[in-house]
A and B are shown apart, each in its own frame.
Chain A
Amino acid sequence: MNVHQISVFLENRAGQLAEIAAVLAENHVDLRAISIAETADYGVLRMIVEDAEKATAILRDHGYIFSMTPVTVIAVPDQPGALSLVLTLLAQAQIDIEYMYSLFTHMDGKAYMVFRISDEEKFIAKLAEHGVHAVSKEELGLK
């Protein structure tokens, strides 16, 4: 689908996250999802924002290093066991997940999960067989 995540390089030191959060806040960037992967020295802040173009322009202005990464967002019923079902399907189909995290958004009894997987086409096809669908950015209200 067409959802893109912004990945930002952050040094692993006190205050780094606060700084970027402040920059985003000052510029009224609406965060929809956020996740961090880190090592002892550095980390990658991954986020889904309402207006990616605006957010990247701001990050660029502030000297951050970032990249845009295509991700797949799926909607699952907002109830216990829903995620487990999806993950079991992926395991059975031997599809590797690089990473995943969740969107803050809940709508119509649905929760949204962000996936970064090696084989997106296979992933979407597999889920479709079981009535789970990838969500477009328009559906999520993203620009």
Chain B
Amino acid sequence: MANYYQPEIETASREQMLSLQNERLVKQVQHVWDNVPYYRQKMEEKGLTPDDIKGVADLHKLPFLTKTDLRDAYPYGLLGAPLADCVRIHSTSGTTGRRVVAFYTQHDVDLWEDCCARAITAAGGTREDVVQVAYGYGLFTGGFGVHGGAGKVGCLALPMSSGNTDRQLQFMTDLESTILCCTPSYAEYLAEAIEEQGLRDKIKLKAGIFGAEAWSEEMRRDIEIKLGIKAYDIYGLTETTGPGVAYECCEQTGMHINEDHFLPEIIDPDTGEVLPEGEKGELVFTALTKQAFPLLRYRTRDICVLTRKKCSCGRTLIKMSKPMGRSDDMLIVKGVNVFPSQIETVLLEQGYPANYQIIVDRVNHSDKLEVLVEMPPDKFSDSLADIAEQEKNLVEELKNMLGIYARVKIVSPKSIIRSEGKAVRVIDKRKI
């Protein structure tokens, strides 16, 4: 039994979809040309005008946008609508500390919520459902995105935000939540708490929509068994909109991309060449309908595969595999983007050597970030209180930069291995 939120789109024929994409792309390129001087200049540098883009077949001619562009254009350089028309921002971290700020008009919020509504519907959500949203609400897109989608479907949304496990469990049992939305690691954590507290008989969950971090099939099965639910993956990024760019259906073999809004391509990360369907490469998105933050050919740095293989759910939307890695060094810790360069920036600013090491681990289903820094001779003090103070300052500065807590460990000078070639800056011990 397949449920669709917008069946005319989700099950459109290839011809219908392509025609819609062609029409929207032409319109969007003109919109960007008229409203985003930053991108217009990039097009001009390539000798392009909107007339050169007559449809999806011409997409490859357009210049790429990267995180660096977002940083350079911060905060308003890529804005495609008057600020007065914007109703919302969301934000994520950038490469060297400057955050990425994405703008939304009411139209953008509406379409985003539609995308999330498709995901909730695909997970079996209806107006009878109680959706417990345990993604963070705030600058992070997760909470608001799914919350809006739940509203569109007509579900009862519980805006729990992340954390506070006891309260989560209380609402889950008292209000009989049927769909849980959070990061997969938090779902696993909640599942264990439910087991420990013997609440398994008191919960009414039937489905979970989990995203914002990498998770394996094993982890999915584990969560499904422990919670007695079906667990669905959801994909998105702040630069394109947030969760709901792609979502899983009952087949659980990849995520359908809402390609009427987000036109995907797979490219060779080294050459930028577009790769044929089925080949592994970097995922690139062109926002077809967004007004306020209309990124064209934005390089996500996520490595994955696209397929148009027929899906048993009846949806014709192209599917993407789970991201298999990154073409840059970004880490996702607790659902938050972390770049080693951000950490390096803080260390250098605070007078620590650039020889550092980042250790990421998952303890009790929660990501832990640890930064090892070498004690600089000029910072050494005979007083432990002074060292503790330095450590505390560093933790605060890192938190300001990253938005999450990183444990700082001060180690002996020259104790972090310096390799001949590329330094091993990151040790990711997570078994995902």
> Using a CB–CB distance below 8 Å, which chain A residues touch chain B?
5, 7, 9-11, 16, 37-39, 41-42, 44, 46, 63-67, 69, 98, 116
Looking at the assembled complex, report how far the CB atom of A49 sits from the nearest CB atom of chain B, in whole angstroms: 15
Does B336 reach chain A (CB closer than 8 Å)? no
Does B414 reach chain A (CB closer than 8 Å)? yes
Q: Which residues of A contact B375 (CB under 8 A)?
A: 9, 42, 65
Q: Is the interface of B mostly helix, strand, loop or mixed?
A: loop
Q: Which residues of A contact B413 (CB under 8 A)?
A: 9, 63-65
Q: Which 3 A-B pairs have the closest CB atoms?
A: A7-B382, A11-B412, A69-B382
Report the separation of the CA atoms of residues A142 and B143 in the bound assembly, to the nearest whole angstrom: 67
Contact B412 A46 (CB under 8 A): no
Report the separation of the CA atoms of residues A63 and B414 in the bound assembly, to the nearest whole angstrom: 8
Does B410 reach chain A (CB closer than 8 Å)? yes
22 contacts between A and B (CB under 8 A): A7-B380, A7-B382, A9-B375, A9-B413, A10-B412, A11-B412, A39-B384, A39-B387, A41-B409, A41-B411, A42-B387, A42-B411, A44-B387, A63-B413, A63-B414, A65-B375, A65-B376, A65-B377, A65-B412, A67-B381, A69-B382, A98-B383
Report the separation of the CA atoms of residues A65 and B378 in the bound assembly, to the nearest whole angstrom: 9
Report the separation of the CA atoms of residues A47 and B383 in the bound assembly, to the nearest whole angstrom: 14
A39 partner, pick from B380, B382, B388, beta carbons under 8 A: B388
Does B341 reach chain A (CB closer than 8 Å)? no
Q: Which residues of B contact A39 (CB under 8 A)?
A: 384, 387-388
Q: Which residues of B contact A116 (CB under 8 A)?
A: 382
Q: Which residues of B contact A5 (CB under 8 A)?
A: 382
Report the separation of the CA atoms of residues A50 and B273 in the bound assembly, to the nearest whole angstrom: 70
Contact A42 B382 (CB under 8 A): no
Does B364 reach chain A (CB closer than 8 Å)? no
CB-CB under 8 A for A9 and B414, given A42-B387, A65-B375: no
A11 partner, pick from B382, B383, B384, B415, beta carbons under 8 A: B415
Q: Using CB atoms, name the residue of chain B closest to A37.
A: B384
Contact A9 B415 (CB under 8 A): no
> Using a CB–CB distance below 8 Å, which chain B residues touch chain A?
375-377, 380-384, 387-388, 409-415
Q: Which residues of A contact B382 (CB under 8 A)?
A: 5, 7, 44, 46, 67, 69, 116
CB-CB under 8 A for A41 and B410, given A7-B382, A66-B380, A67-B381: yes
Report the separation of the CA atoms of residues A63 and B388 in the bound assembly, to the nearest whole angstrom: 22
Report the separation of the CA atoms of residues A116 and B383 in the bound assembly, to the nearest whole angstrom: 10
Q: Which residues of B contact A64 (CB under 8 A)?
A: 412-413
Report the separation of the CA atoms of residues A66 and B413 in the bound assembly, to the nearest whole angstrom: 11
Report the separation of the CA atoms of residues A11 and B411 in the bound assembly, to the nearest whole angstrom: 5
Report the separation of the CA atoms of residues A7 and B380 in the bound assembly, to the nearest whole angstrom: 9
Q: Using CB atoms, name the residue of chain B closest to A68.
A: B382
Report the separation of the CA atoms of residues A66 and B409 in the bound assembly, to the nearest whole angstrom: 18
CB-CB under 8 A for A16 and B381, given A9-B375, A39-B388, A65-B375: no
Q: Which residues of A contact B415 (CB under 8 A)?
A: 11
Report the separation of the CA atoms of residues A66 and B381 in the bound assembly, to the nearest whole angstrom: 8
Q: Which residues of A contact B377 (CB under 8 A)?
A: 65
Report the separation of the CA atoms of residues A50 and B349 in the bound assembly, to the nearest whole angstrom: 39
Contact A9 B388 (CB under 8 A): no
Most chain-B CB neighbours within 10 Å: which of A11, A39, A69? A11
Q: Which residues of B contact A41 (CB under 8 A)?
A: 409-411
Report the separation of the CA atoms of residues A67 and B409 in the bound assembly, to the nearest whole angstrom: 20
Q: A38-B384, A44-B387 are in contact. List 10 more A-B contacts (CB 8 A).
A: A11-B412, A11-B415, A39-B384, A39-B388, A41-B410, A41-B411, A42-B410, A44-B384, A65-B376, A65-B413
Report the separation of the CA atoms of residues A97 and B129 in the bound assembly, to the nearest whole angstrom: 65
B412 partner, pick from A9, A38, A44, beta carbons under 8 A: A9
Report the separation of the CA atoms of residues A63 and B376 in the bound assembly, to the nearest whole angstrom: 11
Looking at the assembled complex, report how far the CB atom of A59 sits from the nearest CB atom of chain B, in whole angstroms: 11
Report the separation of the CA atoms of residues A11 and B384 in the bound assembly, to the nearest whole angstrom: 13
Report the separation of the CA atoms of residues A64 and B412 in the bound assembly, to the nearest whole angstrom: 8
Most chain-A CB neighbours within 10 Å: which of B375, B376, B384, B413? B384
Q: Which residues of B contact A69 (CB under 8 A)?
A: 382
Report the separation of the CA atoms of residues A11 and B377 in the bound assembly, to the nearest whole angstrom: 14
Q: Which residues of A contact B384 (CB under 8 A)?
A: 37-39, 44
Most chain-B CB neighbours within 10 Å: which of A10, A16, A37? A37
Report the separation of the CA atoms of residues A38 and B410 in the bound assembly, to the nearest whole angstrom: 13
Q: Which residues of B contact A67 (CB under 8 A)?
A: 380-382
Looking at the assembled complex, report how far the CB atom of A77 sits from the nearest CB atom of chain B, in whole angstroms: 29
Report the separation of the CA atoms of residues A64 and B414 in the bound assembly, to the nearest whole angstrom: 9
